[in-house]
Amino acid sequence: MVEHCFWEAGVAGSNPVIPIGHLLSKLMKIFLDTADYNAIAERYQTGLVDGITTNPTLVRKSGVNYLDFIKTLANDFAFESISAEVDGETYDVMLENANQFLNIDPSITIKLPLTKEGLIACRDLAMSGIKTNVTLCFSAAQAVMAAKAGATYISPFVGRMNDNSFSGVELVRAISSLYCAHGVETKVLAASLRDVHHVSRCLMYGANVVTLPPAVFDKMYNHVLTDAGLAIFEKDFKEING
């Protein structure tokens, strides 16, 4: 089954286009975008986190050794995917950098830049059965090239698109539709998500995975009407119990 494809419920035009994956929770994956071990451990206990994405900026802010951090995550948590980003601008340097991560754990996903050299490296890694995450995607054309290179995941940056007056959610929809039309297996991993609204919209428009900062993940539970309803129920429980 191609998970990016959409269907329309009811009379044409009366309902929004909804991805099949939206109906089957097992197809919706949530990754955490952080290098904070304690934040990961706390949210891992919910059973709702499927993987981790990292990048040099997050690692620098956390002050951890990158290789040791990736090893610790792989050892301590049973994640579907842990993205480890490579350094370097050339194919040779990227592959050399990737080699330090490859024998750690099957969950390791090599994260590569969406450049010509990055895609050549992606192609070789994919042909060896290694999972890859091609990052910093800002156009459907770039997503085509990543799919051709055999990427496991493509990461469109939703928030950064919005910062530059383009719709990041619409980019996710364009990539998902394009992949559906051609039966592409590369998964759309919506990244740079800064609010709950964009999370749900990206999933609605075909993203297979969303990666969230811990603070956004925590807000996924919340709604002011849920809080108001619980306050009423708590008051009524007190009256029932006398």
Residue with tokens 């998964």: 187
Q: Give the pLDDT score at 232.
A: 87
pLDDT > 60? residue 95: yes
> Of 29, 111, 131, 187, which residue is the catalytic one?
111
Query: For residue 221, what are the domain limits?
Result: 16-240
The CATH number given to whatever domain includes residue 53 is 3.20.20.70
Domain presence at residue 147: yes
Residue with tokens 């008051």: 235
What percent of the chain has pLDDT above 90? 80
Residue with tokens 């060896």: 128
For residue 94, the surrounding DSSP H or E stretch is helix 91-102
Domain presence at residue 98: yes
β-pairing verdict for 6-8 and 17-19: antiparallel
Q: Confidence band (pLDDT; 50, 70, 90) for 223?
A: confident
Separation of alpha carbons 207 and 83, rounded Å: 17
Domain presence at residue 11: no
Q: Give the pLDDT score at 227.
A: 84
Q: Determine whether 238 is an active site residue.
A: no
Domain presence at residue 2: no
If one compares 83 and 25, the residue with the highest pLDDT of the two is 83
Domain presence at residue 141: yes
If one compares 30 and 227, the residue with the highest pLDDT of the two is 30
Q: What is the mean pLDDT of residues 112-125?
A: 98
pTM (2 d.p.): 0.87
Task: At 220, list the tokens.
Answer: 């996924």
Q: What is the DSSP string of 172-191?
A: HHHHHHHHHHHT--PEEEEB
Q: Count how many domains the chain has.
A: 1
Question: Which residue type, as a one-letter code, is found at position 124?
Answer: D
Domain presence at residue 8: no
> 68: Cβ–Cβ under 8 A, 6 or more apart, which residues?
none
Classify residue 36 by burial, with Cβ atoms within 10 Å: 0-12, 13-18, 19+.
middle
Domain presence at residue 233: yes
Q: Can you tell me whether residue 199 is helix, strand or coil?
A: helix
Separation of alpha carbons 216 and 69, rounded Å: 22
Query: Residues 129-166: pLDDT tens digits?
Result: 999 999 999 999 999 999 999 999 999 999 999 999 99
Q: Confidence band (pLDDT; 50, 70, 90) for 7?
A: very low
Separation of alpha carbons 129 and 152, rounded Å: 10
Query: Residues 156-198: pLDDT tens digits?
Result: 999 999 999 999 999 999 999 999 999 999 999 999 999 999 9
For residue 81, the surrounding DSSP H or E stretch is strand 81-85
Going from the C-alpha of 120 to that of each of 132, 188, 215, the distances in angstroms are: 12, 20, 35
Domain presence at residue 6: no
